[in-house]
Structure 1
């Protein structure tokens, strides 16, 4: 079976459209997108509501999940880094996982054919 890899990209919501366009240009057509909350080095921020100060510990982020086998993982990572890097805290993270198998529920196809 061909090598299948899952790539999770967590970044600022404002960067999602540019990332989707760049990934589409290299042949990534399928992805799962979700709004998530998280914290890292940013440690949240202080906001004011009706004169009262409060801390926001979890900041809004966006998560894109991609499973690849034909497009090289390195190419996906390089494109994501180019699009997302601002040099500021909060640019995001990229996680890479091996995928043991994929099964298409409708047809029962497995592996690369299921993608």
Structure 2
């Protein structure tokens, strides 16, 4: 038995940055340690463009965050799940991590 807080990894499309930040706040206030994407801005919002190498490295880093987590929460308003998030869900499930969705529909 451990007294360490639950670790939750947030996954989802960066188009839902506000929703991911809200989920992060809710989970944190509930006492969880939250790991989430490290970058919430998108080039179409005027943010710096990432190189393909940087995108690949960030994707691999996010999988390591899933490795650290006790469970995964997918932020998917309207039921939307993109290609990258689908891969992360498959990775989490293959690792035996419970996966839940903010919009189970």
Q: TM-score range, shorter-chain basis?
A: 0.3 to 0.5
Q: Give TM-score scaled by structure 2 length.
A: 0.33
Question: TM-score if structure 1 supplies the norm length?
Answer: 0.31
**Greater strand percent: which structure?**
1
The structure with the largest helix share of the pair is 2
Q: Which has the higher contact order (CA 8 A, sep 6+)?
A: 1
